[in-house]
Amino acid sequence: MRTAAVALMITVLVGCGDDDPAPGLFESQGVIDWDPVATRAELAAMSDTVVIGTLVDVDDGYMVGSSIDDEFGSPEIELVIDTVNDEPMRLLWYYAPGFSLDQIRDAFPIGARVVVYATRFVVPESDQGSYHHIGDVDHVHWRWTNPQGLIVEDPDTGDIVVYNSAVTFDDAPAGDAELEAWFVEPLAFEDPVLAGLCEDMISDFVEGEPSPHSTEAQAVARFAVEHSILDGLDLVDGTILLRGGRVGSYRVVSRPGDTFAVASAGWCFPNP
């Protein structure tokens, strides 16, 4: 598969007549003021979810304005993305007024596989009067974490298409990589509910009893398994690392019979 990261941007989007073509998926976003991140891992850490799925449809979303009929409002549609979950993802997507859903479907790569880095969207309390949902509101809404957060596999060519080819990741997959290579799963350790919390652990040993681990490496590996919150972290030479950054430490001790065990550990969950 070739990687053809394509920049599809226009400066101003306005409503058009029936004879004008509807803007494509990335064209519809215009030029966005945003701060790119260096790595997919960093983007995953900022996201509430990362999914691989298929764009199967578009649907009505919100009208952001004074009323649902605000002629100067900013309409949103929903990208309907099938995933392994029971319910499809509904990704909110700004779109120019004046186009029907059928016109938008014709302009979008329906059937394309995608990777989405997304944050959950809830209408802010202060903006309750500005968001007017046109369709069925009884589902979870998402937004891309930033414009790096939607990676599309062209259904005809297999090329990878992104919002801006001039902005890439330091850890971007090789040019012939499959779509799956763009997926980085968020770690449980980065759950925003836990942000800023610190934990300490001290093991209780029975005096004179050996450990089941004959090497330090075995002891550390078992410790990581027993504390599943550490899944995806690296435990190296007494340091607990999250994506290369130190978040804690641990101490391995000798036990009777030339065995080893983790005696203590401590870590702090990162702030966003």
Separation CA 272–CA 269 (nearest Å): 10
Report yes or no on 22 lying in a domain.
Answer: no
The verdict on 168 and 76 lying in the same domain is: yes
Is 54's pLDDT higher than 50? Answer: yes
Give the chain's end-to-end CA distance (angstroms, integer).
35
Share of the chain above pLDDT 70, in %: 92
Q: Are 1 and 173 in contact (CB under 8 A)?
A: no
Report yes or no on 34 lying in a domain.
Answer: yes
Q: Are 163 and 224 in contact (CB under 8 A)?
A: no
The verdict on 195 and 182 lying in the same domain is: no
The verdict on 208 and 158 lying in the same domain is: no
The verdict on 151 and 121 lying in the same domain is: yes
Average pLDDT over residues 12-26: 67
Report yes or no on 2 lying in a domain.
Answer: no
Report yes or no on 17 lying in a domain.
Answer: no
Domain stops at, among 166, 186, 206: 186
Domain stops at, among 186, 202, 230: 186
3-state helix, strand, coil in the chain (%, to 5): 15, 30, 50
Report yes or no on 62 lying in a domain.
Answer: yes
The verdict on 111 and 228 lying in the same domain is: no
Is 14's pLDDT higher than 60? Answer: no
pLDDT (tens digit, 9 = 90+) per residue, 55-93?
999 999 988 898 888 888 888 999 999 998 778 999 999
Is 260's pLDDT higher than 90? Answer: yes
pLDDT (tens digit, 9 = 90+) per residue, 180-198?
999 988 778 877 788 889 9
Report yes or no on 10 lying in a domain.
Answer: no
Up-side HSE of residue 119: CA atoms within 13 Å toward CB? 14
- Tell me the residue range of the domain where 221 lies: 190-268
Number of compact structural domains in the chain: 2
Separation CA 223–CA 51 (nearest Å): 29
Write the CB contacts of 61 (distance below 8 Å, at least 6 apart in sequence): 75, 76, 77, 78, 90, 92, 93, 133, 134, 135, 141
H/E run at residue 201: strand 198-202
The pLDDT score that the predictor gives to residue 187 is: 79
Average pLDDT over residues 128-151: 87
The pLDDT score that the predictor gives to residue 195 is: 85
Report yes or no on 94 lying in a domain.
Answer: yes
- Output the average pLDDT for the chain: 86
The β-bridge partners of 55 are 81
